[in-house]
Amino acid sequence: MESYDAVLAFFEKADEPANAGKVAESTGLDKKEVNKVMTKLKKEEKIVSPKRCYWELKK
């Protein structure tokens, strides 16, 4: 659950939408792992996409 928490924390602190590459770079996680976590966050409807390939926390 470490990866999940790290990605969620990134989005909580982010001041603008980010893509998986930026999340991976900022958290130090592998991009594939970030994609898995982001898929889970999308299914849980915790993140939304304001523009193609960029995500932010649902307000």
Q: What are the domain boundaries of the chain? A: 2-57
Look at residue 1 and tell me whether its pLDDT is greater than 80. Answer: no
Question: In terms of DSSP H, where are the helices of 1-59?
Answer: 2-13, 20-27, 31-43
| CATH code, 2-57 | 1.10.10.10
Measure the CA dihedral 45/26/32/9, to 10°.
Answer: -30
Tens digits of residue pLDDT in 23-47: 999 999 999 999 999 999 999 999 9
Mean pLDDT throughout 46-50?
96
pLDDT of 55 reads 97
pTM above 0.85, yes or no: yes
Bridge partners of 55, per DSSP, are 18
> pLDDT category, 18, cuts 50, 70, 90?
very high
pLDDT of 38 reads 97
